[in-house]
């Protein structure tokens, strides 16, 4: 567990990201979420958090929640530290086709990120939190799969659009935190630093034995990173960063 400073205005931000498998029943999903929030993150991004789970969030009223009707990417923030300035969906992909035999259903739905803008009470500065979940099935042995050109093209396009969103928020002067599941080990976002920077050789991964597809990006390197194992197939990531 990452040690926290004094709450609420400790001069540090503890950020969590958790892909909580959509096939888990409501009770197991609630347990997984609680095990992440037990660490007291200031900001948390969830993926695969569908409509049937929205009521679970109400039990954690120390957090404000943005849980859009589409996309499955929910964002929580500590009410004692942040004030909600605004939120919305930003689409990174339209509907498309997967490669034949790559998925049970070839049609890919549109894919959206969740953008939440917060006012940090401690610094009186705006923070943009971008929660993403990119298309899966594109990587094998550390590189893009040559046998899935449609999916690879889709992932590259989603990455470009996500990067453009990050660039816009940085250009507007916000502190930017991007959290989520890229489905690509070694994923990068220009202008931000991965929580795995300097830690790529760590043996533990967030999916499978060593793949680090779940990440927390910020302006500077994380000072500490830990994993939270839950009933989900992904481990949650906790990253501590200076403000």
Q: Would residue 197 count as lying in a domain? A: yes
State pLDDT tens for residues 15-54.
999 999 999 999 999 999 999 999 999 999 999 999 999 9
Copy the structure tokens of residue 220: 């500077």
pLDDT confidence bin for 9, thresholds 50/70/90: very low
Q: How many domains does the chain have?
A: 1
Q: Would residue 4 count as lying in a domain? A: no
Q: Would residue 2 count as lying in a domain? A: no
pTM above 0.85, yes or no: yes
Domain that holds residue 179: 12-242
pLDDT of residue 239: 98
The domain that contains 230 carries what CATH number? Answer: 3.60.10.10
User: Which residues partner with 133 through β-bridges?
Assistant: 181
Q: Would residue 3 count as lying in a domain? A: no
State pLDDT tens for residues 125-167.
999 999 999 999 999 989 999 999 999 999 999 999 999 999 9
State pLDDT tens for residues 76-111.
999 999 999 999 999 999 999 989 988 888 999 999
CA dist 96 and 145 (Å) reads 18
Q: Would residue 109 count as lying in a domain? A: yes
Residues 6+ apart with CB under 8 A from 179: 15, 16, 17, 43, 44, 45, 129, 130, 131, 132, 215, 216, 217
pLDDT of residue 12: 79
State pLDDT tens for residues 159-217.
999 999 999 999 999 999 999 999 999 999 999 999 999 999 999 999 988 999 999 99
């Amino acid at each position: 567990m990452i040690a926290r400073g004094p709450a609420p205005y400790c001069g540090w931000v503890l950020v969590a990201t958790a892909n909580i498998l959509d096939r888990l029943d409501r009770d197991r999903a609630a347990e997984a979420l609680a095990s992440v929030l037990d660490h007291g993150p200031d900001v948390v991004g969830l993926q695969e958090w569908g409509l049937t789970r929205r009521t679970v969030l109400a039990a954690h009223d120390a957090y404000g929640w943005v849980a859009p009707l589409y996309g499955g990417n929910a964002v929580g923030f500590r009410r004692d530290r942040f004030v909600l300035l605004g939120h919305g969906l930003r689409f990174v992909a339209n509907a498309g086709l997967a490669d034949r035999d790559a998925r049970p259903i070839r049609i890919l739905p549109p894919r959206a990120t969740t953008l939440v803008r917060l006012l940090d009470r401690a610094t009186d500065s705006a923070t943009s939190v971008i929660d993403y979940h990119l298309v899966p099935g594109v990587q094998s042995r550390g590189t893009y799969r040559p046998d899935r050109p449609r999916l690879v093209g889709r992932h590259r396009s989603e990455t470009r659009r996500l990067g453009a969103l990050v660039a816009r928020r940085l250009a507007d002067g916000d502190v930017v935190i991007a959290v989520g599941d890229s489905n690509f080990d070694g994923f990068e976002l220009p202008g931000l630093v991965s929580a795995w920077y300097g830690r790529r050789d760590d043996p533990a991964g967030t999916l499978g034995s060593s793949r680090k597809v779940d990440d927390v990006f910020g302006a500077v390197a994380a000072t500490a990173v830990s994993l939270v194992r839950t009933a989900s197939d992904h481990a949650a990531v906790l990253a501590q960063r200076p403000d």
